[in-house]
Amino acid sequence: MVSEMRRLLQIPSADPPLLIDADLRPEGKSGPTVRTLTSYEAYYRRWSLVWESQALLRAEFVAGDEELGQRFIELIDPFRYPAEGLGDDAVREIRRLKARMEAERLPRGADPTLHTKLGRGGLSDVEWTVQLLQLQHGWVEPGLRTTRTRPALAAACAAGLLTGEDAAILDEAWVLATRVRNAVMLVRGRAGDTFPSDGRELAAVGRYLGYGPGHVGDMLDDYRRITRRARAVVDEQFYGA
C-alpha cells in the first residue's frame, strides 16, 4: 500500500509530481517501509546514530490515525530531544557529517555561492545550525520542539541561544534561499537548487524577487552578500570557529 501511494503521488499531472524519499527510514533502503511502534522503539534505542535523531526533528503527523501518530511522536521525542542534550562526541559527529556533505554533495561545477541548498549560507547551513541547537537544548526549551526552521530560530533567540542579530541574519538568508527555489519552480516547472543559467529564466526569477529589467546582477550580488553574512554566523555558531 505504501509503495502504491508513493507511485501515485509521483505520477506527473497538472501539478508537479510529489517525490517521497523514504531512504532515511531505519536501516535505509534495506529496511521495511512499515514497522510496528515496538520495532521503531527497539531500533532507535539500540542502533540509531546521531544523524537519525537529527532526521527525526522533521517528523510530524500528517494523515491517517491521529492517535497512532501521536503515539509515534511521543516515542521519538526522547531521541530527538535527548535529556541533557548532546555529548561532545555527538556534536563532533554532526559537524563532521556536515563538513563531509559540503565537500562531497555539491554538484560538480556548481557555484557554491549561488547554490540555495548546499551552498554557502544556504538552506543546509541555516537548518543544520538550528537543528544542532534543537538537539542540544530542545529537552529544556519547549519552543525548540518544532519541525519548522523559522519558529525554531525565533525560539533559540528568545532563549538566549542566539543573539537577535545572528537570528535575523540566518532568517533572512533562509527566507531568500527559499524564495529563490520557489521562483525556480514557478519559472521552470520543476524543482531546482541553483539560479537558472538561461538568461530569460534568470530574469523571470529576478522579477519574482522584485528586481526590475536589467538588474539580474544586483539580484545575484544581493544573494551572495546575504548568504555570506549567514555563513559567518554558521561558522561561529555551528562549527565554533
- CATH number of the CATH domain containing 139: 1.20.120.330
Q: Do residues 145 and 229 share a domain? A: yes
Q: Do residues 72 and 153 share a domain? A: no
Q: Residue 241 — pLDDT band, cuts 50, 70, 90?
A: low
Residue 103, CB-side half-sphere exposure with 13 Å CA sphere: 6
- What's the average model confidence in pLDDT over 144-166? 97
**What grid cell was written down for 119?**
551552498
Residue 12's pLDDT is 77
- What's the average model confidence in pLDDT over 185-208? 93
* Domain that includes residue 212, residue range: 85-241
Between these two residues, 139 and 24, which has the higher pLDDT value? Answer: 139
Torsion, CA 235, CA 77, CA 73, CA 128, rounded to 10: 10
Q: What is the C-alpha to C-alpha distance for residues 33 and 27, in angstroms, rounded to an integer? A: 10
CB atoms within 10 A of CB 224: 16
For the chain, the average pLDDT equals: 93
- What's the average model confidence in pLDDT over 117-136? 97
Residue 82's pLDDT is 95
Q: Do residues 12 and 59 share a domain? A: yes
Q: Do residues 111 and 15 share a domain? A: no
Q: Do residues 69 and 93 share a domain? A: no
Q: The cell 555558531 sits on which residue? A: 237
Q: What is the C-alpha to C-alpha distance for residues 122 and 193, in angstroms, rounded to an integer? A: 10
Question: Which of 80, 108, 133 is the endpoint of a domain?
Answer: 80
Query: What are residue 115's DSSP bridge partners?
Result: 194
Question: Which of 27, 52, 80 is the endpoint of a domain?
Answer: 80
Q: Do residues 72 and 94 share a domain? A: no
Q: Do residues 70 and 140 share a domain? A: no
Residue 149 has pLDDT above 90, yes or no: yes
pLDDT tens digits for 1-47? 777 888 888 887 777 777 788 887 888 888 888 899 999 999 999 99
Residue 139 has pLDDT above 70, yes or no: yes
Q: What is the C-alpha to C-alpha distance for residues 107 and 53, in angstroms, rounded to an integer? A: 26
Q: Do residues 109 and 184 share a domain? A: yes
Q: Do residues 89 and 71 share a domain? A: no
Q: Do residues 28 and 63 share a domain? A: yes
Q: Residue 177: name the closest of 197, 162, 194, 199 by CA.
A: 194
How many separate domains does the chain show? 2
Q: Do residues 98 and 147 share a domain? A: yes
- Locate the DSSP E strands across 74-192: none
Q: Do residues 49 and 159 share a domain? A: no
Question: Which of 80, 98, 119 is the endpoint of a domain?
Answer: 80
Q: Residue 122: name the closest of 176, 85, 84, 86 by CA.
A: 176
Residue 190's pLDDT is 83
- What's the average model confidence in pLDDT over 217-229? 97
Residue 61 has pLDDT above 90, yes or no: yes
